[in-house]
Amino acid sequence: MLVLTRKKGQSIIINNNIEIVISAIEGEQVKIGINAPQDVNILRKEVYDAVQQSNKEAIQPKIDLNTLKKLPNPEK
């Protein structure tokens, strides 16, 4: 992990096309601005984690195989 020190108004450039700007420092909170191309997905970490968890839950079977086997077969 790269750790940098920045002051209000200073910025960091990532990959030549993403700029992270320190817009304010208030107590223990730092406000940042992000300038990036439209195709760059930007999410807060907690939102990203929630989306990942939701995706994992979505691919889990909602019904177990034994329950499926007990269902009547409409082709018979």
Sign of the C-alpha dihedral, residues 7, 44, 14, 35? negative
> In this predicted structure, what is the pLDDT of residue 68?
75
DSSP letter assigned to residue 61: -
Which tokens belong to 15? 């990959």
Average pLDDT over residues 68-76: 76
pLDDT digits (tens, 9 = 90+) for 36-65: 999 999 999 999 999 999 999 888 877 777
Q: Where are the domains of the chain?
A: 11-70
